Amino acid sequence: MASIPRPTDEPHAHPHDHDHAHDGPYLATKGGIVATVIDWATTVDHKKIGVMYLFAVLFMFFLGGLAALAVRVELFEPTRTLEVYNAATGQSTTSVAGQVFAQSATDVAAGNQVYNRVFTLHGLIMVFLVIVPMVPASLGNFLLPLMLGAKDVAFPRLNLLSWYIYVVGSMFALVSALAGGVDTGWTFYTPYSTTTEPGHWKVVSMVAAAFILGFSSILTGLNFVVTVHKLRAPGQGWFDMPLFVWGMYGTAIIQVLATPVIGITLLLLILERLFLIGIFDPRLSGDPVLFQHFFWFYSHPVVYVMILPGMAIISEVIAIYSRKKVFGYRAVAFSSLAIAAISFIVWGHHLFTSEGEVAATVFSALTFLVALPSAVKVFNWIGTLYKGSIELTTGMWYALGFLFLFSIGGLTGLFLGALSVDLHLHDTYFVVAHFHYVMMGGTVIAFMAGLHMWWPKMFGRMYNESLGKLGFWLVFVGFNLTFFPQFIMGVQGMPRRYASYQDEYLIYHQLSTVGAFTLLAGFLVHLVNFAQSLLYGRKAPPNPWGGLTLEWTDADSPPTTHNFAQEPVITHGPYDFDDVYPPQAKPGEFTLPPPLPGRRVVTVATPHARSE
Amino acid sequence: MSTLSMDQPGQADGAPAPPIHETATHAHHFRDRDHEFDAAKMGVWLFLATEVLLFSGLFMYYAAMRYLHPEAFRHGSSLLDWRWGLINTAVLLMSSFTAAAAVRDAQLGRQGWLKLNLLLTCLAGLAFLVIKFVFEYYPKWLAGELPGKYYTYPNWEDPNEVHWWGLYWAATGVHATHVLIGIGLYAWMFVRAFLGYYGPKRYMMVEGTALYWHIVDIVWIFLFPMLYLIH
């Protein structure tokens, strides 16, 4: 037997060493516009891919937001069919009031149809194009290698492929939307989705979009899992990783293990629609509940693909702006994995009204399990804040807003997880408010926290703190104004997905619409702030907030193409603020770590053994 | 073909430039080639996990439909000829052997055997598809044993037999697509083997593709009894 040689090579052979001599900021342009565009379009740099994802996601967020505003405008007034009696002629005529989408007098049905398409478009864009990739693909791509002291993610070309798959998937969705949109709801529930507008390609195109986007998500997740396993800096054990990385790791595992199931589900849905093979449609003796199981087997875990990255961000933001070691590091880290694991066994709570009683009872009990790791995280964040040196930047305001809104979102989830209560609340605005408090109040708010905190790192420019805080308060007030009334009308019985309603809900709907426009104002303030920062912002120092993770201590703002001048070595934990900074240092007064050229290892004030 | 002579090292006598597999280096974000190899292999295994989950949806489809329409499945599967399935099983099993042998050849630098085994794997994949299309898909197409609205087969015994054909075409179709991708990968590697890409220091693609090929094979090992043998 010949022995199998391992693919080793000589340690000194490092072909890229010469690159470091002229290693500029990753944002530096390479010649003219065409050259720059080609450079970005073919880049395998995780930072550039992250930035491209960031702007794509923000653009889609804008489109999805427009659809949401359209929904709120339609709901500002209920649709009323009026009998107008004309005394002069003795005739009564019928007219419709309060209908925005189909102004043409009497055709309520057409208006409702448009309404169905608009809210479906909102849901599809926000779920598949915005919230799923929002944090992992943008901030995650940018930060994960930096936090691990790596030069890139494990598979840079796969990363670029993932970006292009995202673009192609977006095209399928936008083409379908431009062709008139679909009215299936974002869940594509059968048999409606297989029979609505028979023969039209746009439903297939929309389903195909979600199918394609799934591959983008899988590739990102796969890349992240391998990166975390294989590319940690020397000296960085699993429990020396920043909690952001732990959150991303949990997210990536769900992306890898759950997304293939939606892939095959949507493929079968397309086959059902094209060939009527009879798997999901009861009229063809298929089983519609089977679709619901398939769909939620992915789509419930993916809820945690949406929220875990938000939690990951909050762990970092709260630690840095409290300048305090995260309370219960291991508990927070393991709770990410616990959430990822539990997420796979609770899908049945979306089927309480369509599955058997025993299954519903079991799934209800399992659902309450998710509350445990989520609460562990919230209590640990509060424990971190306690006696911290809190610095109320925009990012910190958003993090505090997250604690408030996510707690409401999480606690109302318990109502929905309880079988008896859910039968009353099922398909009402209570559900809508609940998941917006988690998805938007949780993920989007956390994303805004992270975006503000890492903005100087990503673009090398500071943003205007006053404008940021103004934006935060508009968003925070607008958000609560939009969604809190929906809890109340949900409990009172207002069903979701209707273009009209009884007069008793009028005040809540009007408050909600006003809130939606307040939200718009808040996000526009942020848009102005970011644009102003890119154009005129003060140049950012490498470590404006005094963070201790590698992207702050060892990389420039913005980082260089190869991230670090030399491979960083971990000399302290990610949150050892007490050890690294002298105790008298106040926010804004810290001097460590210094932004020196070349190797930048943080000097540790007092020798210590790492407590982990 | 002299290039196919067995047990020759990859480097031709007198050629000044060493083959690519000896000079190629690792990507800049890895410490060395071992590091890169480990990462790539882990990535492939994760990808295989996604493949298992993808096919698990089809197996659930089978279980649910069989539970709903047992009689239709019983008669439907009796319309398949198990002999073609058996032949295809043998073809795929043999190709899994040549795929594994190709990995070994690359590790040991046996360039001639490597090329031969890559070619054999590719051809076996093609043979699988040819048998599938010529002796199974095409006659079924003619007989109207098609999914959904295209189903025109007159001699059904159970009114729900159309479900059986929906499942048959979906499951074997998704599997055949995977075989097709594998054939492409093996053809690509066959060409690259002539350019000297693979050797003891560089065989990740050979090994990764072989792993993929094995999972495609294993899926068929489950599909064959489920579709052809269980009545």
Q: What is the DSSP string of A245-262?
A: HHHHHHHHHHHHHHHHHH
Residue linked to tokens 């069903």: A495
Please name the residue that has the structure tokens 């089983």. Answer: A287
Higher pLDDT, A7 or A186: A186
**Residue A440 maps to a domain:** yes
Q: List the domain range (segments joined by +) for residue A400.
A: 392-536
> Which of A20, A46, A264, A273 is most worth mutating to test chain B (most B CB atoms within 10 A of its CB)?
A264
Residue A151 pLDDT? 92
pLDDT at B2: 41
The confidence band for A8, taking pLDDT boundaries of 50, 70 and 90, is: very low
Exposure on the CB side of residue A464, measured as CA atoms within 13 A: 16
Q: Residues A282-330: pLDDT tens digits?
A: 998 889 999 999 999 999 999 999 999 999 999 999 999 998 899 999 9
Integer Cα distance of B166 and B161 in angstroms: 9
Assess if residue A460 is contained within a domain.
yes
Q: Do A256 and B46 touch (CB under 8 A)?
A: yes
| pLDDT recorded at residue A584 | 58
Within-domain flag for B9: no
The alpha carbon of residue A338 is apart from the nearest alpha carbon of chain B, in Å, by 20
Check if B78 contacts A (Cβ < 8 Å).
no
Distance CA B6, CA B12 (A): 13
* A272-290: b (≥16 Cβ within 10 Å) or e: bbebbbbbbbeebbbbbbb
Chain A CB contacts of B25 under 8 Å are 9, 13, 15
Average pLDDT on A499-503 reads 90
Stretch A459-471: mean pLDDT, rounded? 95
Residues 6+ apart with CB under 8 A from A212: A165, A168, A169, A172
Q: Which of A500, A448, A503 is nearest to A479 (CA)?
A: A448
Whether B186 maps to a domain, the answer reads yes
Do the domain assignments include residue B218? yes
Cβ proximity of A212 and A168 under 8 Å:
yes
Tell me what pLDDT residue A589 has: 57
As a whole number of angstroms, the distance between CA A77 and CA A70 comes to: 12
**Which residues of B are less than 8 Å from A264 in CB distance?**
54-58, 174
A150 in contact with chain B, both atoms CB, cutoff 8 A: yes
Query: Looking at the domain assignment, is residue A397 inside a domain?
Result: yes
Report the pLDDT averaged over residues B180-209.
95
Contact by Cβ (8 Å): A443, A134: yes
* DSSP codes of every residue in A377-389: HHHHHHHHHTT--
Which residues are paired to B199 by β-bridges?
Answer: B202
The one-letter amino acid code at A180 reads G
> What confidence tens digit (pLDDT) does each residue in B105-141 have?
999 999 999 999 999 999 999 999 999 999 999 999 9
pLDDT of residue A109: 79
Q: Do B56 and A261 touch (CB under 8 A)?
A: yes
Q: Is A612 domain-assigned? A: no
User: In the A/B pair of chains, how many CB contacts fall below 8 A?
Assistant: 148
Would you state the structure tokens that stand for residue B28, as one six-digit string?
A: 């800049």
pLDDT tens-digit profile of A100-155?
776 655 577 788 888 999 999 999 999 999 999 999 999 999 999 999 999 999 99
pLDDT of residue A530: 97
CA dihedral B114, B119, B124, B130 (to 10 degrees): 170
Residue of A nearest to B21 (CA): A7
Q: Is residue A438 included in any domain, yes or no?
A: yes
The terminus-to-terminus CA distance of chain A in angstroms comes to 46
Contacts of B32 in chain A (CB under 8 A): 8-9, 11
Burial degree of B109 (CB within 10 A; 0-12, 13-18, 19+) = buried
B204 reaches A (C-beta below 8 A): yes
Q: In the numeric block, which tokens belong to residue A296?
A: 């939620």
Is residue B1 in a domain? no
Q: What is the mean pLDDT of chain B?
A: 90
| B2 touching A (Cβ < 8 Å) | no
Of the pLDDT bands very low, low, confident and very high (cuts 50, 70, 90), residue B198 is very high
Q: How many domains does chain A divide into?
A: 1
Q: Which residue of B has its CA nearest to A263?
A: B54
Residue A330 structure tokens: 């291991």
- Render pLDDT for A330-359 as a digit per residue (tens, 0 to 9): 999 999 999 999 999 999 999 998 888 899
Mean pLDDT for all residues in chain A: 88
Q: Say what the alpha-carbon torsion angle B216, B219, B220, B223 is, to the nearest 10 degrees.
A: -160
Q: What is the rounded CA–CA span in Å between residue A325 and residue A548?
A: 10
B64 touching chain A per CB within 8 A? yes
* Residue B14: inside a domain: no
Mean pLDDT of B58-87: 93
Band the pLDDT of A83: cuts 50, 70, 90: confident
Q: What is the ipTM of this complex?
A: 0.89
Q: Under an 8 A CB cutoff, do A276 and B149 touch?
A: yes
Closest-CA distance of chain A to residue B13, Å: 23
CATH number at residue B127: 1.20.120.80
Q: Are A568 and A556 in contact, with CB atoms under 8 Å apart?
A: no
Q: Encode pLDDT of A175-218 as tens digits.
A: 999 998 999 999 999 889 998 888 889 999 999 999 999 999 99
The minimal CB distance from A8 to the residues B33, B58, B166 is found for B33
Number of domains in chain B: 1
Tokens encoding B24: 């190629």
Say if residue B9's pLDDT is above 80. no
Q: How many residues does chain B have?
A: 231
Per-residue pLDDT, averaged over B40-52, amounts to 96
Shortest Cα distance, chain B CAs vs residue A194, angstroms = 13
Residues of the domain holding B97: 30-229
Q: What was the pLDDT predicted at A152?
A: 94
Question: Chain A window 341-370: which residues touch B at a Cβ cutoff of 8 Å?
Answer: none
A281 and chain B in contact, CB less than 8 A: no
Place of tokens 């007219």: A95
Task: Name every chain B residue with its beta carbon within 8 A of the beta carbon of A290.
Answer: 60-61, 64
Is residue A53 assigned to a domain?
Answer: no
Q: Judge whether B22 lies within some domain.
A: no
| A573-592: pLDDT as tens digits | 899 888 777 665 555 555 55
Contact A404, A446 (CB under 8 A): no
Task: Tell whether A218 lies on the interface with B, counting CB pairs under 8 A.
Answer: yes
A87/B contact by beta carbon, under 8 A? no
For A566-594, the DSSP string reads: S-----S-TT-HHHHS-TTPPTTT--PSP
Burial class (CB in 10 A: 0-12, 13-18, 19+), B11: middle
Count the neighbouring beta carbons within 10 Å of the beta carbon of residue A487: 22
DSSP run (H or E) holding A92:
strand A92-97
- Categorize the per-residue pLDDT at A607 as very low, low, confident or very high, splitting at 50, 70 and 90: very low
Q: Please indicate whether residue A235 or residue A311 has the higher confidence score (pLDDT).
A: A311
pLDDT at residue number A88 = 83
Q: What is the pLDDT of residue A590?
A: 56
